[in-house]
Amino acid sequence: MIDYKKICTEVEAVVRRTGEFILKESEGFDISRTETKGLHDLVSYVDKGSEKMLVDRLSIILPEAGFLTEEGTSVKKGLRYCWVIDPLDGTTNFVHGVHPFAISVALMEDDQAVAGVVYEVGGNESFTSWKNGGAWLNGNQIHVSGADKLSESLVATGFPYSNFSHIEKYMDCLTYFCKTTHGVRRLGSAAIDLAYVACGRFEAFYEYGLNPWDVAAGILLVREAGGRVSDFEGNEKNLDGREIVACNRFVFPEFLENVTKFMHG
């Protein structure tokens, strides 16, 4: 069996080095060098360069592992292990010179996340977690918030950017939380939203239409920090980002009940 903590430490070093590349490229970035996958779905040479660096370096750490990557740099399959990589979560923020944007890397073992790193590049904040090892921010252990009421909660979300099939339900849900919580924030990076739930800055987060690379590391962070993560119906297994709710354990039942009511009612 591999040493999850050791793997996580090695991944963090790789991610930090890759973050230096992203930060350097963010200085004077020319938005005209951006490609468009969809109206709200941008990709830059920085995404692709970051992903190649991550794939190359992670291949050294665990040569037998496969890859699931946003930009498709590697399609290698692993029998037991798989790296799930978002090389630049928050690309639209990045190309407009807005923070946050982040790198997200998770190691899956038989479809279960066993190590994860979310690195917020601009703020130099490295969120790390490994199976049964807790969650950490720059080496200090973190925990979800202790708030126990939705009315005392700060909620995070992300607006749909390609799948608008549930936009009316989503806006009704958003309106409800605007009226019944401390407020709603939309940072533009699901990986960071989940990391902020893990360290107690947000009490709750919900979104639909995401992908595994957006959420794999963040889900592990929230759970290792004492929180709960599910889809909109409360299922906590095999989450792929299509629906996600993440909260501290006190607010989770009330928050999930309302998300379910609006999104699946």
pLDDT digits (tens, 9 = 90+) for 201-219: 999 999 999 999 999 999 9
Q: Which fold has domain 4-139?
A: Fructose-1,6-Bisphosphatase; Chain A, domain 1 (3.30.540)
Pick among 3.40.190.80, 1.20.1510.10, 3.10.620.30, 3.40.630.10: CATH of 150-264: 3.40.190.80
Is the Cβ–Cβ distance between 205 and 244 less than 8 Å? yes
Distance CA 194, CA 197 (A): 5
Residue ranges of the chain assigned to CATH 3.30.540.10: 4-139
Q: What's the helix, strand, coil split of the chain in %, to 5?
A: 40, 30, 35
Positions in the chain short of pLDDT 70: 37-41
Spatial separation of the C-alpha atoms in residues 134 and 132, rounded to whole Å: 6
> How far, in Å, are 87, 181, 201, 255 from residue 150 at the CA level?
33, 6, 14, 7
| Whole-number pLDDT of residue 160 | 84
pTM metric for this prediction? 0.96
Tokens representing residue 6 in the block: 């050791």
Mean pLDDT of the chain: 94
Residues forming CATH 3.40.190.80 domain(s) in the chain: 150-264
pLDDT given at position 80: 96
What are the two backbone dihedrals, phi and then psi, of residue 161, each rounded to the nearest 5 degrees? -125, -10
Give residue 44's pLDDT: 81
